[in-house]
Amino acid sequence: MLNPVSSSAQSQAAESASTSARPPQPPKAQPTAAAADTVQLSAAARAIQESLETAVQTAKEAAAGDSQARHLLAREAAQKAQG
């Protein structure tokens, strides 16, 4: 006697056939948390870094609350006003 096969039984059979045909994959390595290295810049390096900033970057930092950027913008505005 024949038994009717439902579509769910067919899909389960197809899934089991497709998974057994594939070679087992090695487990993927989970990314580990990066070591928390901190870098200390010297005062000279910070001064060079600040001098290489663009005006747009300085304005963004000033808007975000950077007091050094605000001071620089105020100083530049005063220089423009004087001459």
How many other C-beta atoms can be found within 10 angstroms of the C-beta atom of residue 61?
18
Would 35 be classed as within a structural domain? Answer: no
Give the pLDDT band (50/70/90) at residue 27.
low
Would 55 be classed as within a structural domain? Answer: yes
How many domains would you assign to the chain? 1
**What span, in angstroms and rounded, lies between the C-alpha atoms of 30 and 58?**
38
Q: For residues 61 and 27, which has the higher predicted lDDT (pLDDT)?
A: 61
Mean pLDDT over 51-58 rounds to 88
Would 16 be classed as within a structural domain? Answer: no
pLDDT at 51: 83
Would 64 be classed as within a structural domain? Answer: yes
Write out the residue range of the structural domain in which residue 51 sits.
42-83
Tell me the per-residue pLDDT of 33-43, one tens digit each, with 9 for 90 and over. Answer: 667 788 888 98
Give the pLDDT band (50/70/90) at residue 83.
confident
Would 54 be classed as within a structural domain? Answer: yes
Give the pLDDT band (50/70/90) at residue 46.
confident
User: Is pLDDT above 70 for 45?
Assistant: yes
Would 33 be classed as within a structural domain? Answer: no
Would 72 be classed as within a structural domain? Answer: yes
Cβ proximity of 61 and 73 under 8 Å: no
Would 69 be classed as within a structural domain? Answer: yes
